[in-house]
Structure 1
Amino acid sequence: MPPRRGTAPVRRRYDVVVVGAGTAGSVLAARLSEDPDRDVLVVDAGPLPRGPAGFGPALLDGLLVPGAQPNHPATSAHPVCLTPTRPWLVPRGRVLGGSSTVNGGYFVRARREDFDRWAAAGNPAWSYERVLPFLRALENDLDHGDGPLHGDRGPMRIRRGRPDHPAAAAFRDAAHALGFPDDPDKNDQAPPGFGPVPSNVIDGVRRNAGLSYLPPEVLDRPNLTALGSRTARRVVVENGRATGVVVEHDGRRFALDAGTVVLSAGALVTPHLLQLSGIGPRADLERVGIPVVRDAPAVGSGFSDHPQVVLEWAPRDVWREPSGSWLGGCLHLTSTGGTLAGAGSGGGPGDLEILQSLVPLSHLVTGGAGTAGGPLPFLVSAVAPRRTGRLRIRSADPTTPLSIDYGYLGSREDQSRLRDGVRVTAALLESPPFAGVAHGPLGPGPEVLDHDDALDQWIREHLGTAQHTCGTVPMGPADEPRHAAVDQFGRVHGVRGLRVADTSILPDAPHRGPAATAVLIGEVIARAIRNDPSEPCPRDPR
C-alpha cells in the first residue's frame, strides 16, 4: 500500500518520482498514474490541497492575482536583477498547481512560429502540426467546443471574457479606431490584433492545473502518492543514472528511490537542482565545490522572459465590479520602430502585448476588498523571444539563492520595442473612444513620450517582468552541449533516468505567456514516458 499523503514514505522504490506538483508536474502525475501498474510519487515544497475547499476562496478568486501580492504564503520569492540597477523579486507558485494557482488565469497558446522555431532547433516533435493534437486534448474550450483547432474533453476548462465592462468596450473601440484588426480567438493562430483573453478562470474561479488534473479522485488513485512540504535538495546519480531524489522535511533529509526522476520544479528551481546535483557548467560547479557529474554548459547559461511596464489611467466614473475575472481585452501587435504606421498590417506573430486589467493595481498587489474606483492599469510587455538572461549557482548550500540576471534593455531593439508599446498604449487612451471614459494616461506625459531618451529613462525606472521565464535547461540535440541540456522529450543528456518537464526546456520564451505551453509540456513528456520501452510500465492505453 502507498503511504498516506502527508507522512514520510517508507523506504521503497517508485517507478517515477516527479519533483514539483506545479503546472506541468500536476499533468505528469495525473497522466503517468493512469497506468495502474506504474507507481508514481509527486513531491512538492508547498502544500497539496484537496479540491477547491482546500485552496480556499481567496486563492481561487478570479479578481485577484496572488502572485502579485508580496510575500503571499502560496509563493516563494526569488531575488533577481532585471538590469544592473534594477533589483526585483520574482514570485513563483509554491502550492499544488504551482504558478497556475497564483497567476492571472491567462491561457494563451504559443504561436505557430514559436513551435516551428523550436522544431527547427533539433526538436521535431514540437512542430505546430505535431503538438496541435495535444493542445486540443488538454482543453475543454467552452466557447468553441470540439473542432479542428479546439477540444471539449480535456481537463483545462477555457473561456474568453466578454467586453461588457465599460473599460473593456472602450479598449476594443480604441483599438478599432487605430486600425488594429479583430483577434477573437487568440488560440487559433490568426493574425494578431485585439480580442478577449482565453482564460482558465471559469465563473469567477481560477481552475488551476492542480484542480484540473489532480482532483481528489485522482489523488486517491492507489498507485499515486502525493507528498507536500517536501523540499527537493538534489538528484542522486549513481554510475551515470539517476536513482532517486534527496528531499528535506521538518529539518530531516532522506532519499526517495526512483526508476525515473522528472524535475518539474519550474524554470528557476529546476536548473538549481541540476547544478546542486553536479549537472551544469563545469567551471561554475567547481567554483563552489560541487563534484561534476555531467558538464552541461547550457544549464542556466541563457534564458528568456518578457520585460514589462505598467501604464495607469483614471476613469471618469466609478464603475461596477467586473464579472468573474480581472482580465479585460488584449492587443497583440508588431512593433514599428516608434510610429503607429501600419497598425493594422504589421504581420508576424506580434511582438508586443498590451493587456488590460479591470481592477486597480493596488487591488492586485494587496488583495484588499473592493475593486471599484481608482486608476486602472495596462500591462505592456515586449514578447519577442530573446535569450538575454543568465543564472549561476553561488554556493553548494541549497538555501543560498542563485545569481539571476535577466539582462533586460541590453540592446537598442529592446528599448525601441518597449517605446512602441508605451506610445501605442498612450495613443489608445487619448483616442476618441477612451476620451469619454478616461482622463488619459497618468504618465508618462508628452514631454517624455515625444523624446526617445526621456522615454527610455522612464522605462528603466518603471521596468518589471511578466514572470514568463523559459530556457534555463533548453532542449536540443546532444551534439550541441552549449545550446542544449535535454532532448525534445526532456531526457537530460548524459544522465540516464532523468528528465526535465517544465518551461526550463523551451529554447526561448514564446510570443505569449507560457501557462498553456507549460500544461502542454506536461502532456508531451508524459506521453513520451508512457511510450518509452525503457521506462517502467511502458504502455499507453489511450
Structure 2
Amino acid sequence: MVDVVVVGAGSAGCVLAGRLAERGDRSVCLVEAGPASTLPDVTSAASLAATAPDHPLNWAYSASLIRGRVVRVPRGRVVGGSSAINGAYFVRAVPQDFADWAVPGWGYADVEPYYSRTATDLDLGYGTGPLRVRRPAGRFLAPVTPAFLAACESLGHPAEPDKNAGGPPGWGLVPSNAAEGVRISTATAFLPAPWGAAVPPTSVPPGGSGPSTTHPRGLDVRVGVRALRVLFEGSRAVGVETTAGVVRADTVVLAAGAVGTPHLLLHSGIGPAAVLRTAGVPQRVELPVGQGWSDHPSVYLPFRWPGPPPDPDAVAGQAALNLDSGSDPAGDLEILLFARPFTPDGPVHLMCALQRPESRGDLTITSADPLAPPRLDYRYLRTEADRRRLRAAIRTAADVLRAAGLERDGPEGFVLGNDRRLDGWIQQVLTTSVHLCGSAALGRVVDPDLRVLGVDGLRVADTSVLPVAPRRGPAATAVMIGERAAALL
C-alpha cells in the first residue's frame, strides 16, 4: 500500500514521481515495464538506435498510417521512456496551441512556470530545472547546419532565434535536452541513482538547479513490471494489477504515454461501449478513450551533403524551419534538418511535417488480454487540406535544398511539380513524427486537474491529455505535464 502509484517511468512519469518523492510527505511507487539502462543507445545524444523496430528498449507498435501503409511506431520501453531514446528535440508548444485548446487553467501563462521549472537553458540563461537544454554549437554544430540556415534566410524566411520563446515561426537552431554529447532523459534529471544516470558536468546559470541528488526514502521504482489494469472498489481506483502482483494506492496516476495510457484505461473498462464490447471487457465508464487523437504526418526528403560529417557526439536534429502554409500564422509546417544519415553512407534528410493536421486517429483493443497490443489507425491525409499542406512542406524543403546548392535524392522534378504524382510518392514514403496526443484528452476524458471523469482517485499525466498535437514536437510539453501534475497532487 502506497500513497501514489505512477504507472510509466517516461517523460512525464519520472518527473511526477521524482517531484512527489522530493517532498517527502508521501510514499510513491513508480512502475515501469522496461529496464533501467545506461547503454550508449540511451546515453548518447547522437544515437537513435533504440528507435529501431527490433530494439529491446522500444515498444515498436504496429500502426496503419493510410490504407496499405503499415509501419512500426517507436515508444520508449525503458526508465526515462521516449525521452531516453528520441532525438533530444526539446521545444515548447507555442502560445497559440493553448489558446486553441481553451482549457481552463491551461493557458500559456498558466503552464509557462512549469516549463521553466523543468529545464535550465544553458545558452540563454533561463529556467531553473534539472534538465539541461543546449543548441548545437562548436564541435556539436554539424557542417551542413549553417548551409541549411543560410538557405532559409536567402529565401526570405524570418529568423526564430529561440524556438522556446513563443514568438513567430521561422528558422533557427533546435534546443536539445543534451549536453556535451549526452542525452539527458527525465530519468537522468529527476530520479536518483540507481535509476537515474549522472548528468554531465556543465555550467549552470545563476538560479539554475543541478540534478536530483537526493535518495528519497519514499520512492520505490519497480522496473520490468507491466501494469495490466486499474483496480476499483465501487467508483474509486484503489490500485493497479501488474505482472508482479497488485500495488494498492490512495491515488493512481497513469503516465504510460499516449498509447500505453489509453490501452490501460480500455482494459480497465473505461472507454467506448462498442470498443469494449468487441474486446470482451466489461464497461465501467463511457468515455471517448483512444478516439480522435492526432499526430504529425511526415516525410523524409533525402539529399547529399558533400562536406564533412557531424561530430560523433552531435545530435542529429540540428535546426528547423517552422512556417505558415498560408492558413496558420502560428506555423503549421515544420522542416527539420537531420544532419546525420540514418544508415552508413546514406543520405541526410529534411523531415517535412504537417504540424496542424485535420486528420484524426483511433486506438482500440481487440482482445480482453491486456498483454495484447492495441490497434492504431492514424487515418492520415484524409482531407485535401492536409494533402495540400504536406505537399507545400516538401516543395519548400526542395527550395531550401536548391538555395543551399545541395542535391536532392528524390523525388524527381516531374513528380515534385505534379500534385497527383507527388501524392503517390508521399503514400510510398509516408511516416509519422511519433507525436501522438489526445487519446485521453482534457475536456473529453480528464478534467483540468487531470482527473479521469466519472471515477475517483485516478488521474492521467502524459501527452494523451493534450487535446491535439501541438505545433512543435511534444517532448518538452510532456515533461511540463509531469511537473504540473506534481503540483496538482
Shorter-chain TM-score bucket reads: over 0.9
Task: Give aligned-pair identity as a percent.
Answer: 44
Alignment partner, residue 139 of structure 1:
119
> CA separation in 2, counterparts of 1:525 and 1:381?
29
Give TM-score scaled by structure 2 length: 0.93
Aligned-residue offset at 1:68: 3.2
1:520 alignment partner AA: M
Aligned-residue offset at 1:451: 0.5
When residues 135 and 320 of structure 1 are mapped into structure 2, their CA distance, relative to the original with a 3 A threshold, is closer
2:118 alignment partner AA: L
Is 1:515 aligned to 2:482, yes or no? no
- Structure 1 regions of 5+ residues with no counterpart? 1-12, 50-54, 337-345, 364-372, 477-483, 530-542
Q: Contact 2:35–2:223 at 8 Å: present in 1 too? A: yes
> CA separation in 1, counterparts of 2:308 and 2:420?
36
**Is the partner of 1:187 in helix, strand or coil?**
coil
Alignment partner, residue 445 of structure 1:
412
Q: Contact 1:202–1:324 at 8 Å: present in 2 too? A: no
Aligned-residue offset at 1:218: 5.7
2:447 alignment partner AA: D
Alignment partner, residue 289 of structure 2:
299
Alignment partner, residue 327 of structure 1:
317
Count of aligned residue pairs for this structure pair: 469
Alignment partner, residue 251 of structure 2:
260
Tell me how large the CA RMSD over aligned residues is.
Answer: 1.6
2:136 alignment partner AA: G
Higher Rg: 1
> CA separation in 1, counterparts of 2:302 and 2:282?
50
**Is the partner of 1:174 in helix, strand or coil?**
helix
Alignment partner, residue 105 of structure 1:
88
Q: Contact 1:333–1:350 at 8 Å: present in 2 too? A: yes
Mapping of 1:57-96 within 5 angstroms? 57-96=40-79
Aligned-residue offset at 1:66: 3.1
Q: Contact 1:109–1:517 at 8 Å: present in 2 too? A: yes
Alignment partner, residue 10 of structure 1:
none
1:470 alignment partner AA: C
Aligned-residue offset at 1:35: 2.4
**Is the partner of 1:415 in helix, strand or coil?**
helix
> CA separation in 1, counterparts of 2:328 and 2:279?
47
> CA separation in 2, counterparts of 1:264 and 1:155?
20
> CA separation in 2, counterparts of 1:242 and 1:422?
47
**Is the partner of 1:226 in helix, strand or coil?**
strand
> CA separation in 2, counterparts of 1:144 and 1:290?
51
Aligned-residue offset at 1:387: 5.1
> CA separation in 2, counterparts of 1:165 and 1:95?
29
> CA separation in 2, counterparts of 1:106 and 1:320?
17
When residues 279 and 218 of structure 1 are mapped into structure 2, their CA distance, relative to the original with a 3 A threshold, is farther
Q: 1:451-486: per-residue Cα shift (whole Å, max 9, x none)? A: 11000111111100000000000111xxxxxxx011
**Is the partner of 2:12 in helix, strand or coil?**
helix
Q: Contact 1:219–1:225 at 8 Å: present in 2 too? A: no
Mapping of 1:1-150 within 5 angstroms? 13-49=1-37, 55-118=38-101, 120=102, 123-146=103-126
Q: Contact 1:191–1:347 at 8 Å: present in 2 too? A: no
> CA separation in 2, counterparts of 1:37 and 1:58?
35
> CA separation in 2, counterparts of 1:144 and 1:316?
32
Alignment partner, residue 396 of structure 1:
368
Q: 1:61-94: per-residue Cα shift (whole Å, max 9, x none)? A: 1111134322112111111100121111111101
**Is the partner of 1:361 in helix, strand or coil?**
coil
Q: 1:80-119: per-residue Cα shift (whole Å, max 9, x none)? A: 100121111111101111000010000000010111122x
Alignment partner, residue 207 of structure 2:
none
Q: Contact 2:449–2:488 at 8 Å: present in 1 too? A: yes
**Is the partner of 1:171 in helix, strand or coil?**
helix
- Structure 2 regions of 5+ residues with no counterpart? 194-211
Q: Contact 2:358–2:386 at 8 Å: present in 1 too? A: no
Aligned-residue offset at 1:445: 1.2
**Which region of structure 1 is more displaced relative to structure 2, 30-39 or 96-105?**
30-39
> CA separation in 1, counterparts of 2:29 and 2:213?
13
> CA separation in 1, counterparts of 2:11 and 2:306?
39
When residues 172 and 454 of structure 1 are mapped into structure 2, their CA distance, relative to the original with a 3 A threshold, is same
Alignment partner, residue 384 of structure 2:
412
Is 1:474 aligned to 2:476, yes or no? no
Q: 1:283-338: per-residue Cα shift (whole Å, max 9, x none)? A: 22122221111111x101110100010011112344453653222221101114xx
> CA separation in 2, counterparts of 1:386 and 1:497?
34
> CA separation in 1, counterparts of 2:214 and 2:263?
28
**Is the partner of 1:492 in helix, strand or coil?**
coil
> CA separation in 1, counterparts of 2:178 and 2:213?
21
Aligned-residue offset at 1:514: 0.3
**Is the partner of 1:395 in helix, strand or coil?**
coil
Alignment partner, residue 205 of structure 2:
none
Mapping of 1:75-474 within 5 angstroms? 75-118=58-101, 120=102, 123-146=103-126, 151=127, 153-162=128-137, 164-216=141-193, 220-249=215-244, 254-296=245-287, 298-319=288-309, 321=311, 324-336=314-326, 348-362=329-343, 374-386=346-358, 388-431=360-403, 434-435=404-405, 438=406, 440-474=407-441
Give TM-score scaled by structure 1 length: 0.84
Aligned-residue offset at 1:22: 0.5
